Structure 1
Amino acid sequence: MSSSDDDTPLAAAKRKGPATNGSGPKSQNIIPKSVDRAMDKANKAANNAPAGISIRNGPVDEMDLDEPTANGTSKRKARGSMGNGHSYKEMSEEEDEKPLNKRRRVSRPQPPSDSESDEIPLASKKSRPKPIPAAKKPPGITAAAIGESSDSDTPLGEKLAKEKVKIEKRAEKEAKAIRREEKLSAGPKQRASKDSSGEATTAKKVKKESTNGTSTTPRKKTNGVKKEDSDDEPLVHKAPAKKKVAARSETPKAKKAKNVKTEQTEQDQAAEDEEEEYRWWEDPTKGDGTKKWTTLEHAGVVFPPPYEPLPKSVRMRYEGKPVDLAPEAEEVAGFFGAMLNSTHNVENPTFQKNFFADFQKMLKESGGATDKNGNQVQVKEFAKCDFQPIFDYYDAQRTEKKALPAAEKKKLKAEKDAAEAPYMHCLWDGRKQKVGNFRVEPPGLFRGRGEHPKTGRVKARVQPEQITINIGEEATVPAPPEGHRWKEIKHDQEGTWLAMWQENINGAYKYVMLAANSDVKGQSDHKKFEKARELKKHIDRIRQDYTAELKHEVMANRQRATAVYLIDKFALRAGNEKGDDEADTVGCCSLKFEHVSLKPPNTVIFDFLGKDSIRFYDEVEVDSQVFKNLKIFKKAPKSEGDEIFDRLTTDGLNKHLSNYMPGLTAKVFRTYNASYTMSTLLKDMKSAGTVPEKVKDYNAANRKVAILCNHKRTVAAGHESQMEKLTDKIKGLKYQKWRVKQMMIDIEPKIKKKKGAEYFELEEDLDEEWIHEHQKFLADELRTKIEKKFAKENEKLKADGEKELKDKELEERLEAVDELTQKFKKENKSGKVQAEGKGASIEKFEANIDKIDQRISTMLVQAEDKEGNKEVALGTSKINYIDPRLTVVFSKKFGVPIEKFFSKTLREKFNWAIKSVDEDWEF
């Protein structure tokens, strides 16, 4: 049979025609050239300025929700990367393998067609109900945010867009240089073998895609990665492995010492242990296979304490009367009662509805509620329930616990630590490793993030019968609590979890994993950033391909290219389909008609619920072809509820990306773009001055990365108050400096004429009203300091069995507060300040003023830095997206202690990064 055009994938796609199935794609298979020409003509006047930078950034910070709340958001709480508050889900997400965690796919009913213009932003369409009500929009880019001057005539957005294009061109040159260098370093035969095998492999992949109607633009060169390439092999400037002592040139003294046997001291042994530290990042064989461990021993998990019934005097009230509940139902009532101070949750109608439904179910199962005479009470209405007595009881307990003496708190903590000590570490291949979170989650009420549909549901107590233990075959299996048994014992050497169970709210699996500073977690981070480094070799070809495919006739290919453009340029997450009982959060591939508004000539407005049900609002300028494509993707018969990328799935997108290099997924672009941008900025950076000034330079680069890569956040609710406190501290130092200058006049009146009256004047921002308030603050601060010191001394005396200080002693000490207050009154009246301190002299006061000036200078730098960071989650980008080795490079290159960037926990987490690179390392 002869080949013809009718046998091509394009022809096959044309024969299929538009999908008519209600649950299938509504877009046409093929985009007619007439459609392209018509839109090109309409968009002829479109502004083709460089795209890729947000006009506005980040999620909207407040929303007024309509009822019923189908969508919505809450302010996302800031959280550290690590700590006991981490959920097992969050910890498991960092692993490459996610067992038993697949989302189910569901089809959605298609709403009727809407012929309304796509070019009108949804916020102004009155006839269509808003999926997400209007809210205060986040601020746009400011010059101050990236440390730039606002005097330039060039618009900042355009300036940043041009800088982004410049960085992308630099990346293109580097990618070509890396491939050229690799090709030259390979031998002729090996190079020929690689070329032929690489071409053949890629050709097969492209042909296979073409057969399925998802072909890429034909390529002459391979876009695949040779099998010989290792995921863990660094691309350039790999830090050299630690050389053995024997390999170094020995001095005569060393040679002589070599033949002399000496007895090892404890210090020598410690030094040897340090030398033998397991530097897994220098072991190229580690992490290549699927087997994660050979031997594994651990003590299992720690269960929360059993429920303690409330005192008989504490009861929930129904219709104003106390009712008796079975312990199971009383515990559930206690969950709600204990959190009455969390109005954000307990006043949420969805939270109330879900809680009350589960509470009534528990009442039914446990025998119901009774009055004081034992008569049944039908608890039918939530509004008639009064949980205040329960709250008062638990609140009093919390207050009592806070008021415990420091010695008692220390004792209780020591007892708890001793009880949990066996669970804190495991033996992983014979090495002691810290376990991340060995505690089983206690029962309570599910809160979720944003407007989760299941918020308020009861999280059931996890029993040993639900828990699967993963442990070595030769190891002793930890004993379950008396009278119980484990669900199952596994010896899964491919898993990095120690225990797991399924929670009852979302059916998600919770895992006990190793701590962030363990070898296994470190290897996971290392692999993640090495994967981003590997993308350096292919980024130019990927961008070239998707740019070409933005005009592809096949709808599926054009949708895919547009999605990759948005993921690469604007850091959108790929997104997955959600079930009906899950929060309606979306990403790029699952964007719906109503989530995208188009404003000519080339502005796109995104407005949807993103990760963790946080509302994402962003206005971006895109390439004119991308704007045209989105307009095509929204064409009738599509309407509200229909997916924009209806011929694209996240799995399909990631499968396509893996053709360029093994393991490449959409999320790698976020890490690559942030790390490569930071690397580029560091190469051109010349940081000087004090340590705070250098830290400010680093943060400025981090902010620039966030803006260029579109990683932004809502301004924190407490930002303004924090800035006010910092401003007051600076003004307080200025006032202190003024007082010292007045003391100089007190001991040498002629100095006022010598230095000039202006030197001794109050600064403009220190008015009389503020000074009086500050003086009162200083007096109150002194009072608090004296009282705390007195209480601490008494605690110590009591702990040592000695007699405590009397209240009269405290009264005598507090006289200093009255003296200070009187001194300020006198100063305010006379305008003079008496010299203080022993041996007062002009030289001492001038030295004091220099110190105060230095403190003011440091605080001003901190204030400027804090203000610039208000819209940027520097911690998130620094920990999750920017390769930590780049921070280490900055630290070593400019002599800034790594402690200024990484906390103790982060230093443990990124120990591999700190020890594996020097200042010459490149991403």
Structure 2
Amino acid sequence: MRSDSSDDDFLLARASHLSAPTISPSTDREMDKSASKARPVPAGISIRNGPVGDRMDVDSTPNGAKRKSRSSVGQAVKYKEESDSDDGAPLAKRPRPNQKKAQPDSDDEPVARRNGTKLPPSYKETATLESSDDDQPLGTKLAQRKADIEKAAVKEAKALRADAKAKKATPKKAIKDESDDEPLAKPKKRQSNGVSSAKKTNGVKQEPESDSDAPIARKAKKAAPAPKKGKAAPASKAKAVKDESKDNSEGEEEEEYRWWDAPKKEDDSIKWNTLEHNGVLFPPPYEPLPKNVKLYYDGQAVNMHVDAEEVATFFGSMLHSTLNVENPVFQKNFFNDFKDILKKTGGAKDANGKAIDIKDFKKLDFTKIFEHYKALSDAKKARPAAEKKAEKAERDKVEAPYMFCKWDGRKEKVGNFRVEPPGLFRGRGEHPKTGTVKKRVMPEQVTINIGKGAKVPAPPAGHKWKAVQHDNKATWLAMWQENVNGNYKYVMLAANSTVKGQADFKKFEKARELKKHIDRIRADYTRELKSEVMADRQRATAMYLIDRFALRAGNEKDTENEAETVGCCSLKYEHVTLKEPNIVVFDFLGKDSIRFYNEFPVERQVFKNLKMFKKAPKEDGDDIFDRLTTSQLNKHLSSYMPGLTAKVFRTYNASWTMSHLLQKLKVDDRPMSEKIKLYNDCNREVAILCNHKRTVGTGHEAQMEKLGDRLKGLKYQKWRTRMMMLDVDPKLKKKKGAEFFELDPELDQAWIEKHQAFLVEELKTKIEKKFEKDNEKLAAEGKTAMPAKELKERLKAVGELEAKFKKENKTKKVEAEGKGPTVEKLTTAVDKLDERIKTLEIQCADREGNKDVALGTSKINYIDPRLTVVFSNKFKVPIEKFFSKTLRDKFTWAIQSVGDDDTWEF
């Protein structure tokens, strides 16, 4: 990270055309001259019109112009959020101020393996909470909603500060029993929303977030205080969570450590006092190919050293992944590394030992290698269940010693204890090193971090560790450096561990703390939008965009080794197009190289500012915010509250919006599926407002088609059941009318015959699998297997079903099935089918609405999990419907701290 004193020099170095340091009144007036008389679009939401055609841009350069790389405009941009931390790394390995470092991973959006060019669904394509049939434009309605949410935020902030001010004027003794909302650093008994402070703040010290190290682990020496009366989680819920998260591998049951109820630790920098673990698990050694399986070059079988052969199998085994193996960059990087290792290991030879000069990638044929590995995979899948079960048991036995560690005497689950096997690097988005060989990690590269008095795990036979250290200010257990990007890989605790839970807790508490300051921050940056100082005006404009439209701030990058992606502070001239009177079009590659395309109506002053920041002589490749860095922005934000960075705004806006939407929901009697969809609608609205997009999956259409077939299948089953009612009582046709027994228009005869064939094949498969499983059971009991004629006897049911369908198609009648069929029984069956159809229709609509919106990103990383627990309590929906077992383990602190409370507020 650069020092503050070098920021000005850095800005000068990176900008080809630097903006003037101050803004004169005449320059301000000049920006108004081209303003249109057209009515401005309400600011605060995105417009989804697709790529713009005739925009009547105020820009002189079209947005579609070829972009310049960062390296073409002076020094590469290198700036880093102050929240980034390397505290978990050894001192010798922490990057120096001028040392390049790859952008750290974060928990923002899912990884995309290719550019996403699809836009998020329009609001009309997704279910919104307050849909209506009036003629009010959708953009106006959403702008009003967002404005209402922001007004509520201002009101809340003022109320919180008023409470804090009143608190200061109250004697300390009285404070202890008051219900208030003090700053998080001060412990108290209760807060205004009625939840004990231990469940909210736990005395957590405000400090910058860290992606490389997790926060504090609490000591287990002191017993956790008993929960306050009326607010403890019910025994059943607490026990359920505990039963899922505990480990029985050693047959012991430990008391759950409720760190959120534990007293504050005196020294936050000390992460642990004692630490014991068993190191890391290395991947198995490479197994050479059979002698009849070869790589071919120009039609000749190639013999080579086993190390080179292993690299060849990396490419050959993934021919099915056309997205990678057909990528020219992937091919080039692999081929270069492959030739290097061939050179080091003696080269390639033919069957007679004559050297083969491999110099053309296109002449390489990996088909035999691919077929070999595919056959192994198919055989592995086809193994009997008993064999698979035995293999899993053996694998679990090998992994068991590495799965848990002893952290301050507590048993904690380890997350990624397996060392990644060698292979080909794929990277995120358009990574320039995709296809590079990831070398096998050896014990001599691994540093172990462990307690001084603990037994150091033994390295594999014949090897030794690179180093052993006892750094109790770090939370990693082992570390090594990978060869592709030179990044350090760390073995950390699992997501459901105390350390990770506290990191999540701190993140959301910091976002809750922002509630008290949001109105002042917005008032300040709104005022500074008109500042005469260019740096201040750029900072205010960036803050507006980050707050209102959830743009990422943008981190420093090593452009030589990473895909060219940008955030707000690193936007270039070509990334922003302006349309009078107040539309800003953003088009750039964001995190994970996912295309960010959106049109935002903004405040007129913001539009004027961006127009000024793009003023000639600026051109493609020049920075929009050329007098602002991410570190400067975060330093300014920290003046409002400790540890505040641009990153916190995304968490705050997502959680605050979700909280506001949930408060408006009314509990009513509706089916479970509708309640779940109601939650997803809220989640979707947050994801859209926060621009959480994802690439539409390649299998989405196929999945929707499959769901459509399931839906049609239920409708066909419903029709058959109604026809059975008619078979039992022919008079029903007159009573209920002919329409009641008509076939759904979606179900034509061609589809029905295809579906019938599917049902026949499904029954056949089911019978065969049951027969195979019964024989496996008999074999396990030492009994004689059933003869083939038994299977033949069972398969008669398949022929009977096929004959039944043929008869139904011919006569258009369906004979009643089952024992003692009655109209009442069949009516009940129809009602149940109606419920299943309605549920599936809701699921289809939900999935279609979510196809390019990342609901999981918002739910897991940005929406406070306590809000989901509150919804679960309020609408009587099991938390399992929203959180998988893994997430329930991860958010144990949220589930248990809220308990059965349905009034907790963000």
TM-score, structure 2 as length reference: 0.84
* Counterpart secondary structure, 1:574: coil
Q: Does 1:427 align with 2:409?
A: no
Q: Does 1:673 align with 2:653?
A: yes
* Inter-CA distance 67–361: structure 2 relative to 1 (3 Å threshold): farther
* Counterpart secondary structure, 1:597: strand
Distance 2:752 2:595 in 1: 43
The residue aligned with 1:128 is none
* Counterpart secondary structure, 2:47: strand
Query: 1:231–1:527: 8 Å Cα contact kept in structure 2?
Result: no
CA apart distance, 1:104: 7.7
The residue aligned with 2:221 is none
The residue aligned with 2:20 is 28
Distance 1:134 1:894 in 2: 36
Unmatched 5+ residue regions in structure 1? 1-15, 72-91, 108-131, 192-224, 250-269
CA apart distance, 1:690: 1.7
The residue aligned with 1:639 is 619
Distance 2:68 2:695 in 1: 22
CA apart distance, 1:31: 1.7
* Inter-CA distance 593–245: structure 2 relative to 1 (3 Å threshold): closer
**Match runs of 1:512-523 below 5 Å:** 512-523=491-502
* Counterpart secondary structure, 1:728: helix
Distance 1:435 1:539 in 2: 38
Distance 1:162 1:101 in 2: 48
Partner residue of 2:361 out of 382, 406, 430? 382
**Match runs of 1:608-619 below 5 Å:** 608-619=588-599
CA apart distance, 1:893: 1.3
Letter in 2 for 1:605: V
The residue aligned with 1:824 is 805
Q: Does 1:742 align with 2:742?
A: no
Deviates more, 1:568-577 or 1:140-149: 140-149
CA apart distance, 1:757: 2.1
* Inter-CA distance 312–103: structure 2 relative to 1 (3 Å threshold): farther
**Match runs of 1:589-738 below 5 Å:** 589-688=569-668, 689-738=670-719
Larger Rg: 1
* Inter-CA distance 289–433: structure 2 relative to 1 (3 Å threshold): same
Distance 2:847 2:141 in 1: 24
Letter in 2 for 1:753: K
CA apart distance, 1:721: 2.5
**Match runs of 1:156-167 below 5 Å:** 156-167=138-149
Q: Note the alpha carbon deviations across 1:505-527, whole angstroms, 9 max, x for none.
A: 11111110000011111111101
**Match runs of 1:79-98 below 5 Å:** none
Letter in 2 for 1:921: W
Partner residue of 2:777 out of 786, 792, 796? 796
Letter in 2 for 1:461: R
**Match runs of 1:8-27 below 5 Å:** 26-27=18-19
Query: 1:743–1:833: 8 Å Cα contact kept in structure 2?
Result: yes
Partner residue of 2:47 out of 55, 73, 82? 55
The residue aligned with 1:152 is 134
Q: Note the alpha carbon deviations across 1:502-555, whole angstroms, 9 max, x for none.
A: 111111111100000111111111011001100000011111111111111111
* Counterpart secondary structure, 1:542: helix
Partner residue of 1:575 out of 554, 577, 582? 554
Q: Note the alpha carbon deviations across 1:618-638, whole angstroms, 9 max, x for none.
A: 222211111111111112222
Q: Note the alpha carbon deviations across 1:667-696, whole angstroms, 9 max, x for none.
A: 111110010011111111113212111111
* Inter-CA distance 702–95: structure 2 relative to 1 (3 Å threshold): farther
Distance 2:545 2:852 in 1: 21
The residue aligned with 2:195 is 238
The residue aligned with 2:882 is 901
The residue aligned with 2:904 is 921
Query: 2:65–2:574: 8 Å Cα contact kept in structure 1?
Result: no
Distance 2:684 2:185 in 1: 38
Query: 2:692–2:857: 8 Å Cα contact kept in structure 1?
Result: no
Distance 1:639 1:446 in 2: 35
Query: 2:120–2:853: 8 Å Cα contact kept in structure 1?
Result: no
Unmatched 5+ residue regions in structure 2? 1-7, 53-63, 71-82, 101-113, 174-181, 200-223, 231-247
Query: 1:713–1:872: 8 Å Cα contact kept in structure 2?
Result: yes
* Inter-CA distance 412–66: structure 2 relative to 1 (3 Å threshold): farther
Distance 2:290 2:547 in 1: 59
* Inter-CA distance 281–904: structure 2 relative to 1 (3 Å threshold): same
Letter in 1 for 2:881: K
Partner residue of 2:735 out of 723, 742, 754? 754
**Match runs of 1:508-587 below 5 Å:** 508-579=487-558, 580-587=560-567
The residue aligned with 2:56 is none
Q: Note the alpha carbon deviations across 1:129-181, whole angstroms, 9 max, x for none.
A: xxx99956554332644255463211111210111011001000000000100
Query: 1:339–1:391: 8 Å Cα contact kept in structure 2?
Result: yes
Deviates more, 1:431-440 or 1:27-36: 27-36
The residue aligned with 1:357 is 336
The residue aligned with 1:110 is none
Query: 1:426–1:435: 8 Å Cα contact kept in structure 2?
Result: yes
* Counterpart secondary structure, 1:537: coil
Partner residue of 2:378 out of 367, 378, 399? 399
The residue aligned with 2:33 is 41
Distance 1:409 1:914 in 2: 35
Q: Does 1:481 align with 2:460?
A: yes
CA apart distance, 1:804: 2.3
Partner residue of 2:390 out of 371, 386, 411? 411
The residue aligned with 1:860 is 841
Q: Does 1:875 align with 2:832?
A: no
Q: Note the alpha carbon deviations across 1:860-888, whole angstroms, 9 max, x for none.
A: 22222223322321111110110000000
**Match runs of 1:287-302 below 5 Å:** 289-302=268-281
Distance 1:360 1:836 in 2: 68
* Inter-CA distance 919–375: structure 2 relative to 1 (3 Å threshold): same
**Match runs of 1:311-330 below 5 Å:** 311-330=290-309
Distance 1:724 1:669 in 2: 39
* Counterpart secondary structure, 1:40: coil
CA apart distance, 1:106: 9.8
Q: Does 1:766 align with 2:747?
A: yes
Deviates more, 1:152-161 or 1:765-774: 765-774
Query: 2:638–2:644: 8 Å Cα contact kept in structure 1?
Result: yes
* Inter-CA distance 230–290: structure 2 relative to 1 (3 Å threshold): farther
TM-score, structure 1 as length reference: 0.82
Distance 2:587 2:382 in 1: 47
Identity over aligned residues, as a percent?
63
Query: 1:179–1:537: 8 Å Cα contact kept in structure 2?
Result: yes
Distance 2:468 2:615 in 1: 55
Letter in 2 for 1:674: A
Deviates more, 1:634-643 or 1:474-483: 634-643
Q: Note the alpha carbon deviations across 1:356-389, whole angstroms, 9 max, x for none.
A: 1111111111111112222222111111211112
* Inter-CA distance 101–630: structure 2 relative to 1 (3 Å threshold): farther
Deviates more, 1:281-290 or 1:877-886: 281-290
Q: Note the alpha carbon deviations across 1:209-266, whole angstroms, 9 max, x for none.
A: xxxxxxxxxxxxxxxx9895579997854346699789989xxxxxxxxxxxxxxxxx
RMSD of aligned residue pairs (Cα, Å) = 3.3
* Counterpart secondary structure, 2:257: coil
